[in-house]
Structure 1
Amino acid sequence: MQAIATTKVTILRGTSTDAYGDEQDTDTPVATGIPASLIEQTRRVTTRDNPTPRIVRYAVVRLPAGTDVTDQDRLLDERTGVKYIVDADSFMTNPAMAVDIRLDARRTT
């Protein structure tokens, strides 16, 4: 891992259907104790429909190359207990070395 790890995370995955037919997360651990660089950031956003600026918080997460993580997985920060949902992933390639996986995530708890 090239990034400096700031915490360890557990990757949670899976869904089930409740008695009403609604989908809900099962939080089944796929992997635990994965070193991660997790940095929360903010961005000022406006749209044409609503020009009032809003502050959007998100996290940039970097995991070691080859980590089994997909879009919509949940990440549990083992240090703080906060859960994040993966919004987008970036698997960049480098012919000389394996690079970290970069994820955009939103805080869910």
Structure 2
Amino acid sequence: MMQAVATTRISILRGTTTDAYGDEQDTDTPVATGIPASLTEQSRRVTTRDDPTPRIVRYAIARVPARTDVTDQDRVRDERTGAIYSVDAVSSMANPAVTPDLRLDLRRTT
């Protein structure tokens, strides 16, 4: 059971193949579909010491049920919008009373 309020359903995509030139390419092979997720996109204004010009960086965070089979090598497709994200990190908070949702740090690729 998920603790966050689901805003969409996602598919988890996994796997790679090699093209005619020997380059590795991602495949869109779903390993799981219809997973409820709370998916939010946000933006943040950032500057660095080397470049004080402000830039807008967009990122996304998803929360999925605790036992979802997802790794930081996977991609996620929002079934509502069709947007595809790469999973940068998977984390969870420690809680002795309940198993908390997984947090996915995402980067939009399409």
TM tier, shorter chain? over 0.9
Match of 2:49 in 1: 48
User: Residue 28 of structure 2 aligns to a residue in which SS?
Assistant: strand
Match of 1:65 in 2: 66
What one-letter code is carried by the residue in structure 1 that aligns with 2:78? D
Match of 2:29 in 1: 28
User: Residue 79 of structure 1 aligns to a residue in which SS?
Assistant: coil
Residues 1-109 of structure 1 correspond to what in structure 2 (within 5 A)? 1-109=2-110
In structure 2, what is the Cα distance between the partners aligned to 1:44 and 1:89?
Answer: 24
CA-to-aligned-CA distance 1:37-68 (integer Å, 9 cap, x gap)? 00000111112221111100011100000100
What one-letter code is carried by the residue in structure 1 that aligns with 2:44? R
Aligned length: 109
User: Residue 57 of structure 1 aligns to a residue in which SS?
Assistant: strand
In structure 1, what is the Cα distance between the partners aligned to 2:52 and 2:91?
Answer: 30
In structure 2, what is the Cα distance between the partners aligned to 1:43 and 1:22?
Answer: 34
Can you give the 5+ residue segments of structure 1 that lack an aligned partner in the other structure? Answer: none
Q: What is the TM-score with the length of structure 1 in the denominator?
A: 0.95
User: Residue 14 of structure 2 aligns to a residue in which SS?
Assistant: strand
Once superposed, what is the RMSD of the aligned Cα atoms? 0.9
In structure 1, what is the Cα distance between the partners aligned to 2:16 and 2:51?
Answer: 34
Can you give the 5+ residue segments of structure 2 that lack an aligned partner in the other structure? Answer: none
Q: What is the TM-score with the length of structure 2 in the denominator?
A: 0.95
In structure 2, what is the Cα distance between the partners aligned to 1:90 and 1:7?
Answer: 20
